[in-house]
Amino acid sequence: MKTIASSSSVAPVRKLSGGALLVNFVSRAAPRPGEQERGDVPGWVMITLMSAVLVAGLLALATPALNDLFTQAMSKVGK
């Protein structure tokens, strides 16, 4: 196997086929016995994305009403 040069703090990376690369990634990502899990990253990512979608949806629905409100307020100030 061919080794790719890397920095001294990172272990050498080997050029692997797709299946071998997936197995290598999963084996490194899975917690080893006795190690604590680092947290539920996908959970907070999902909450953040859902919140952003909710805000974007509400903004899309409220934009025409907010524009009308602003226009009315400016016309009253201009009188």
The predicted model scores a pTM of 0.41
Structure tokens, 71: 């226009």
pLDDT of residue 2: 54
CB 6 within 8 A of CB 17: no
Q: Mean pLDDT in runs of 10 for the chain (79 residues)?
A: 51 59 67 67 88 96 95 89
What 8-state DSSP symbol labels residue 3?
Answer: E
